[in-house]
A = this chain, B = another copy of it.
Amino acid sequence: MTTPPPETADAPTAKSMEDIVALCKRRGFIFPASEIYGGINGFWDFGPLGVELKNNLRDAWWHDMVRCPPEGPDGESLSIVGLDSAIIQNPKVWEASGHVGGFNDPMVDDRETKQRFRADQLFGLFHYTAQPPGKDRLFFDDVKEKLSAGEFVAPLVTVVANSEEEAIRHFVGRDWKPPKPYKRDIIENFKLELNRPFDLSLLDSQGKQWYCMSIRIPLQVIENFTAQVPSPFSKDGKAGNLMNPRMFNLMFKTSVGAVQDEDSVVYLRPETAQGIFLNFKNVTDTQRVKVPFGIAQIGKAFRNEVTPRNYIFRSREFEQMEMEFFCHESEATKWYDFWVQTRLDWWKSLGISADNLQRRDHDAAELAHYSTACADIEYRYPFTAPGFGELEGIAHRGCYDLTQHQEHSGAKLTYFDQERNEHYLPHVIEPAAGLSRGVLVLLCEAYTPDPERPSKVYMKFHPRMAPIKAAIFPLVAKDGMPEVAQQLYDELRAKYAVQLDVKQNIGKRYARMDEAGTPYCFTIDGQTLEDQTVTIRERDTLSQERINIDQVGSYLADRIGG
């Protein structure tokens, strides 16, 4: 989900995804999965620096949500417990949750070439090319190539044009201006969703701003359409090769047990949340919790995205940090407001600039039928700038999930509230953040070009997030300096992720640490041997000062904690 920038938005920052991806590969943050085998689309491996960064974010969330949750809106102590449920659950879970029935994209097969397209891409593509101006034919070929490589990116139905008005003309065939700012409307059976100007930099060789809009189209309309147009890969250009659209479920399916049949089908969870609802009763039965309270979980989830895209933003395997906060219906709005604000503040506390974060409230048309409110915390990614893309969603889910599981399982999931003397199904506020996506935000936010430095760039991680907290350098690998460095290293690493680096000239070692985002470097030099002081070089300010070697531990503790 992407949205318009606030009207006061600054110009987009000059960070390019290409540069960030290159640094992540070069320094060992993120590698393409199975790279030596040509990779696998939508899967990524976290390298030595990436896993530490991800663990830091994971541990900060767990610490700040489970061990030391924030105070509630009235200053009260909150109770949140942890959980770790299995990725594979009984398949009835996903029938109850609605994922078997509703977690679908319409796909269209090409009879001749056996290629499969997301119906919306096909539709958008044709709708656009049905009225091509001169140069756009070239553009179409470009899109076709991307589509063929599985790289073409589109919300439900997308059209690309030079302006909003042009985009709309392509769709609705007449001059029409949308109600401002960015409202939805029903036009000629289409439910129109007008999104923000979209940076289609992948497609845009002229450096222009293209506009993008999405439309939910009834399946029937797509069927009529596919019957009438040729496949983009048709050799004779005749219609008739495209089959009727079929729904494609985004859950990965597998089979459990020795027999593979319908009864053995199971799914990889598409979200961690349902594992929490499944254990609601187990938790209230075994823990000293009373409503309101939360259950939190961090773990992998899987979605068979047709077009994974934007690096680790939309991958097929990813990690989530989800918390379900159970409360009485009458207090749900209070808790919803609390969690939206709390979660937004949390991301800021990790060093994400307020300018690059925004709260976007879903409007009524966007909400699931059971939900009364939902807000996204969005980040201005380089690939959405000047617009924003989702980082975390906070949903008011009502008592939908517990109701569904109670009905489908037959287990009684009501909670007895002693103070109210009332049996009820609690309502749920769900702050659901992407851990992998959070890592991407940390990487994008930290990436800071600086032509003055030898590395030309440094990673400005919040010290709490930095994969390496400090580096220890002997200025030269002789005169007893390595021994002093080793001793300091051994002392610090029991507590902090630190690195000892003895090779190369000091400038190159600083450059390495700038790219790794190490906030502090301690150098042992000739003077150290005389007066027991070391040089501290601070990553962001480049300031250098000397402190006594005995004070290095408390210097770090003051800045990093622990």
Contacts and interface: CB of A to CB of B under 8 A. Distances in A.
B254 A35 contact: no
Copies in the complex: 2
A27 B286 CA distance: 5
A266 interface: yes
A287 B116 contact: no
Contacts of A84: 45-46, 50-51, 54
Interface residues on A, range: 35 or more
Contacts of A88: 33, 40, 43, 302, 316-317
B118 A317 contact: no
Interface stretch (A171-179, A206-214, A255-263): A255-263
Contact of A45 (B253, B279, B306, B409): B279
A503 interface: yes
Interface string A101-126: 00000010000001010100000000
A211 to B, nearest CB: 27
Given A45-B86, A47-B286, A88-B316, A258 B39 contact: no
A41 interface: yes
Given A34-B89, A254-B253, A83 B46 contact: yes
Interface of A: 25-28, 31, 33-48, 50-52, 54-55, 62, 67-68, 77, 81-90, 92-93, 107, 114, 116, 118, 150, 248, 252-259, 266, 268, 275, 278-279, 281-283, 286-288, 295, 300, 302, 304, 306, 316-317, 405, 408-409, 411, 413, 486, 490, 493-494, 497, 499, 501, 503, 512
Given A42-B256, A45-B85, A257-B304, 20 more contacts: A28-B286, A33-B85, A33-B86, A33-B89, A33-B278, A34-B92, A34-B93, A36-B409, A37-B93, A39-B90, A45-B275, A45-B279, A47-B279, A48-B81, A48-B83, A51-B82, A86-B317, A88-B302, A114-B259, A257-B306
- When A and B form their complex, which 6 residue pairs have the shortest distance between CB atoms, in order from nearest? A34-B90, A28-B286, A48-B81, A36-B411, A45-B85, A46-B84
